């Protein structure tokens, strides 16, 4: 499972959280968690990153940024 630490600005505040790959979802689906709260689902649809959040719909503007982090993390070989 892939867990990616993230720090981002949202509505004038800086937040830290994790983008985690969802097991059993067929790949390509991730959850954004901040302070142990689910903030949204990041997924790639028709070649574009989307960030769905019922409580914070304006997070969609960060989808490309988070998607780029996921792609970079997936292309980095494991350091085992």
Q: CA-to-CA distance for 6 and 17, rounded, in angstroms?
A: 5
Please state the rounded mean pLDDT for residues 24-32.
79
Higher pLDDT, 53 or 76: 53
Q: CA torsion sign, 18 to 44 to 67 to 28?
A: positive
Return the pLDDT at 22.
87
Asked whether residue 34 is assigned to any structural domain, the reply reads yes
Work out the average pLDDT over 39-66. 92
Q: pLDDT exceeding 90 applies to what percent of the chain?
A: 65
Residue 33 has pLDDT above 70, yes or no: yes
If you average pLDDT over every residue of the chain, what do you get?
88
How far is residue 63's CA from residue 44's CA, in Å, rounded to a whole number?
A: 9
Under the banding of pLDDT at 50, 70 and 90, the label for residue 45 is confident
Per the structure, the complete domain to which residue 51 belongs is given by: 3-75
The tally of domains found in the chain comes to 1
Does the residue 48 lie in any domain? yes
Give the three-state DSSP class for 23. coil
């Amino acid at each position: 499972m892939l867990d990616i630490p993230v720090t981002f600005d949202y509505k004038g505040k800086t937040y830290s959280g994790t983008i985690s790959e969802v097991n059993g979802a067929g790949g390509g689906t991730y959850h954004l968690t901040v302070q142990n709260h689910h903030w949204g689902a990041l997924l790639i649809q028709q070649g574009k990153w989307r960030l769905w959040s019922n409580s914070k719909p304006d997070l969609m503007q960060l989808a490309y940024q988070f998607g780029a982090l996921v792609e970079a993390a997936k292309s980095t070989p494991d350091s085992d």
